[in-house]
Structure 1
């Protein structure tokens, strides 16, 4: 009887400890509030922060604010005794006094910068020129052996300029047997188009903009690819990339193809079918770009919540702190405040750090809060971290990324970009269910969101990454209202000076809902010994399996 009594006392004590621990987690979760999120967004997206461009006064204000907040929360420096990781950049600004001249048998076509095309150069030099560079239409500009696809087959493009379609054949045809059907693959992203053209030796690249396949209107291209552009510093000063990288409007492309004696719509249809072969165009492209450049340093901001018995294993939350700064080509308001994109994600990072600081019992693993730079310039800050990690990738349990969060109100669902990719979704599903919510796939897979934010830098290196966005089934107003509202925001505010904090209509209840959810997911991972993996058959699984053999 004495042993039975002791056992009963132990059980009661254990249950009490569990209840106390759970109460601590609940209290930490409740510390994430829409009021605190709004407060951080209002600061980060203010005109005082000048649009948070890398290597600017706005960056200084941003990283100082983040460091100050992390210190107040008791977070440790994440890089030795520093909260910073240096990211070496080069800033290149093209003189907007340029024109693109297309020559052939008839009268030359002269395209106007910003209205008809945008262009720049990653080459670190004062002047870059294409002089009568032969034009070649290479369809989607894809080389994908696993899909039996090669748009450059039998073609030498050295010294030439390739004209490329955005997205991939699966989107164009809706054929589920081509690539991934409507869901964009990495082969559809503009970054891939430039990378492949460079591998092929092309002197220039012109991507034909179309709103549907690109996922955004021309104004986004115009605003995003004008003004200062950032690149990671390289030993060859960018010379391994094509000398000129640009976009042309659909109307300009139609004029170009007509001048070449071709029908754009007909060639676009042919380009989406297997067996397509590149089409040389009897035209040349000429352009001169005058650059000013400066080498600079930007910074990822890193804070750490230390774990207990498995402290060398980390869960990394990410959000990019940067936006486009001040765009001198714009009349009137030229500050690109980036309130939703991505002061919201940065604010969420701070709220998550605060929530972990409220825990009465430390988690087994460490949690890292990584605010990365230069996402808007091609995921540069996260790419630098993922290839120069402070915490070993084989000890990195997961990445949880936050970008352009929900400002429209609470939802019954939560969207997982890349649903079906990793086992992290199992934890997310359980915690979402506890909120009375369900997971749904990306309703717009053709826009390639999986490749457009910082989790992708971790995925490419094999680290399981979760990118959960706002849902689309608004609790009070329904799905149609939510879709229309988001579409309105993209057309009206995305990558424009008007992306500002506006308390008159912003509804951060949904953001609060999602940040609390991501806290519970991160906590579950941080207080366990489980290493999630990619699903079988995903392109990142082999790399993860290989690195984990060293654990």
Structure 2
């Protein structure tokens, strides 16, 4: 996933403890209720004979995360193996291909391998200095040209790089950035102060995402854009930035071959940004405070940047994998399960290992998707609505496969009932919680609560809304075009060790395993919690599949208007 949310608990808890103490599946079934371990927690709720089994999930994970699959990077031999495996498994279950007779949807992409110059030269005030590639900055380009040169491009600090009329905010007000490079902060106003009157306070909006900042800088005509990385508001360390933006990058194909994008898109480490501002005669903390005040105005830094990028460009198609179980009485209404199949492939070696296997991220989601597909394939009665299983490409590069599907849907969006998404499920045994990212957005919350109650679990709203998880996995692509979407899993309240153990495990995964070669399959993992999450999502799909109504976005959701345009009141 573009940033881990449901971290695996087994990184921190020995298997023996998990097996001895994680027998429970009981707990409060109310939203946000805290809980402590009790004797009742050791009484496992009996699993129905629905075909969803931890052993099957583990088997699929072990295959998909094996070295043979080479980290499942699009445009690689790993993609060929991955999509072949997924399509074969779906075909074996008796599921049908898409309307064109294929289990694949082509996703036209361009792969650009950017090689930045070893340094960026900064000049203009005092003694010139250099920033070092990877240590101080990373940079790519979306422009399909062999070489990019920036020579003495003026640097401008543009706050958070946000233009948000609904919040009365414009960081580019009165500024002409043509030919200039803008330096902007990660996240959005309100995060640092926690002021609920600024945007959504600590809860990130789409304006806080790096994708938006690149998009807005391009709309403003900037030659380059550099985002200041800070671990807390970014919610991941610099090592993730350095590894994720090195080597080949995938982008959607565009008619202008990227000409409308900034020539340079990149990140600055926090230390490098502070050096830059100091050279400009400004203090980082004071600049940060100013950027969080209404009425902020961008400020030229009196510095220039010079650097270059060379590229290798390849245009071709990656593939989404798609299969459908037709509905019995309303086959033209669709429920879509999604999980991304891609990961980072082969990259820089860490302790001698260069294959980024992505066992948790996201062989786990694909394994759960296959398990749910098996559940529907053997279930009686069959759902009245069609159930679609969609394994998408390019999530790690910016939700590319799901975004392409959303813009080129195989099945009409107006007839798509809901999307249920799986990404980086917990490997640490049964959980008490079922945490909903973006809780309060849609009526799917209520479906989740009812299904959680069957497992004696409780619904927990997103505990870190400031990290913007709602915008970081494939459900967002469907939500963005109006389809009610649910992204939820257990991971914050472990049966063994409670919330404290879950927190320790998330921290360890983020620091040591997220987007690293060490995200490998471990046969000692307790996958019963993953089984329960898959079953819970299966039960939601079963209920939706038998209904005649469509779940709605709730009042105040930014996606409600889009849905109402595609499905006007009847």
Q: TM-score, normalised by structure 1?
A: 0.93
1:136 — aligned with what?
A: 156
CA distance in structure 1 between the aligned counterparts of 2:561 and 2:271, rounded to whole angstroms: 43
2:146 — aligned with what?
A: 126
2:268 — aligned with what?
A: 248
Q: How does 1:370-519 map to 2 (within 5 A)?
A: 370-504=390-524, 506-519=525-538
Higher helix share: 1
1:26-81 CA-to-partner distances (Å, cap 9, x unmatched) read 98764211111111001001110001011110000000001110111111102421
Q: Secondary structure of 1:91's partner?
A: strand
Q: How does 1:150-549 map to 2 (within 5 A)?
A: 150-328=170-348, 332-504=352-524, 506-549=525-568
1:53 — aligned with what?
A: 73
Alpha-carbon offset, residue 331 of structure 1: 7.2
Asked if structure 2 preserves the Cα contact closer than 8 Å seen for 1:160 and 1:203, the reply is yes
Q: Which moved more, 1:406-415 or 1:298-307?
A: 406-415
Q: Secondary structure of 1:530's partner?
A: coil
CA distance in structure 2 between the aligned counterparts of 1:177 and 1:542, rounded to whole angstroms: 23
Alpha-carbon offset, residue 98 of structure 1: 3.0
Asked if structure 2 preserves the Cα contact closer than 8 Å seen for 1:183 and 1:446, the reply is yes
1:319-372 CA-to-partner distances (Å, cap 9, x unmatched) read 000011111576731111111010000111100110001113211000000000
2:37 — aligned with what?
A: none
CA distance in structure 1 between the aligned counterparts of 2:199 and 2:460, rounded to whole angstroms: 22
Alpha-carbon offset, residue 87 of structure 1: 0.3
Asked if structure 2 preserves the Cα contact closer than 8 Å seen for 1:413 and 1:438, the reply is yes
Asked if structure 2 preserves the Cα contact closer than 8 Å seen for 1:95 and 1:289, the reply is yes
CA distance in structure 2 between the aligned counterparts of 1:432 and 1:546, rounded to whole angstroms: 32
CA distance in structure 2 between the aligned counterparts of 1:122 and 1:394, rounded to whole angstroms: 32
Residue 79 to residue 172, structure 1, CA distance change in 2 (3 Å): farther
Q: Secondary structure of 1:86's partner?
A: strand
Alpha-carbon offset, residue 444 of structure 1: 1.1
CA distance in structure 2 between the aligned counterparts of 1:105 and 1:540, rounded to whole angstroms: 47
CA distance in structure 2 between the aligned counterparts of 1:349 and 1:298, rounded to whole angstroms: 20
CA distance in structure 2 between the aligned counterparts of 1:519 and 1:32, rounded to whole angstroms: 9
Q: Secondary structure of 1:171's partner?
A: coil
Answer 1 or 2: higher relative contact order, Cα 8 Å, separation at least 6.
2
1:219-248 CA-to-partner distances (Å, cap 9, x unmatched) read 110110111000011000011111100001
Q: Give 4+ residue runs of structure 1 displaced > 4 Å after superposition.
A: 26-29, 328-331
Q: Secondary structure of 1:319's partner?
A: strand
Root-mean-square deviation over aligned CA pairs: 1.4
CA distance in structure 1 between the aligned counterparts of 2:489 and 2:320, rounded to whole angstroms: 23
CA distance in structure 2 between the aligned counterparts of 1:512 and 1:29, rounded to whole angstroms: 12
Q: TM-score, normalised by structure 2?
A: 0.90
Asked if structure 1 preserves the Cα contact closer than 8 Å seen for 2:116 and 2:308, the reply is no
Asked if structure 2 preserves the Cα contact closer than 8 Å seen for 1:29 and 1:519, the reply is no
Asked if structure 2 preserves the Cα contact closer than 8 Å seen for 1:373 and 1:381, the reply is yes
CA distance in structure 2 between the aligned counterparts of 1:337 and 1:323, rounded to whole angstroms: 7
CA distance in structure 2 between the aligned counterparts of 1:156 and 1:131, rounded to whole angstroms: 18
2:26 — aligned with what?
A: none
CA distance in structure 1 between the aligned counterparts of 2:48 and 2:398, rounded to whole angstroms: 34
Gaps of 5+ in 2: 1-45
- Give the greater-gyration-radius structure (CA): 1
Q: Secondary structure of 1:193's partner?
A: helix
CA distance in structure 2 between the aligned counterparts of 1:120 and 1:550, rounded to whole angstroms: 45
CA distance in structure 2 between the aligned counterparts of 1:453 and 1:113, rounded to whole angstroms: 28
Asked if structure 1 preserves the Cα contact closer than 8 Å seen for 2:137 and 2:269, the reply is yes
CA distance in structure 2 between the aligned counterparts of 1:30 and 1:307, rounded to whole angstroms: 18
